[in-house]
Structure formats: structure tokens, C-alpha cells
């Protein structure tokens, strides 16, 4: 069985350790700049209940959602739950 709490903790640790996962990109005076945000106080890994029949559609939706590089984050996480 997957330990959701341990997975969430591991993801939080990864984001805390790696500035690249907290970096966003803004425009200032017409030039791009990096902004490194502080580590999040907490992190809630979104969990989505999906079925084997809808997994391809869900994955396609995730792949095709654009990122807002100025608002961040420049990565996205979600836990797709197929079964308990």
C-alpha cells in the first residue's frame, strides 16, 4: 500500500533541497530574471481518483496544461489513484 504521507513528505523535502524546483521566471525591464521562492511551509499533494478507463484522458490533460513561468511553480504534481 502506498503511504501518502511519506510520499508527500518526500516531495516536500525534494522541493526544499532543490532551488530549481522553486524557481520561476519573470520579466523585468524587458529582460528575463530568475526568482527563487522560499521552501513551502507545507505541501498538499493533490490526489485524483481515476479509473483505468480514464487514465489516458487524465494524463493527456496534465501534459497539455500550460505552465505560467512567472507565477510558478514550473512543475506540477498529482497522485492519480486507480485503486485503494
Q: What is the pLDDT of residues 11-65, one digit of tens each?
A: 999 999 999 999 999 999 999 999 999 998 888 888 888 888 888 999 999 999 9
Q: What integer pLDDT is reported at residue 25 of this predicted model?
A: 96
Tell me which residue has cell 498538499.
44
**Domain locations in the chain?**
4-81
| HSE-up (13 A, CA, CB side) for residue 46 | 6
pTM, entire model: 0.78
Using CA atoms, how far apart are residues 22 and 13, in angstroms rounded to an integer?
12
If you classify domain 4-81 with CATH, what class do you get? alpha beta
Amino acid at each position: 500500500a502506498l503511504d501518502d504521507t511519506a510520499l508527500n513528505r518526500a516531495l516536500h523535502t525534494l522541493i526544499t533541497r532543490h532551488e530549481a524546483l522553486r524557481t520561476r521566471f519573470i520579466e523585468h525591464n524587458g529582460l528575463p530574471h530568475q526568482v527563487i521562492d522560499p521552501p513551502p511551509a507545507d505541501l498538499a499533494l493533490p490526489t485524483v481518483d481515476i479509473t483505468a478507463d480514464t487514465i489516458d484522458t487524465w494524463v493527456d490533460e496534465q501534459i497539455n496544461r500550460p505552465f505560467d513561468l512567472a507565477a510558478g511553480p514550473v512543475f506540477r504534481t498529482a497522485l492519480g489513484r486507480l485503486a485503494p
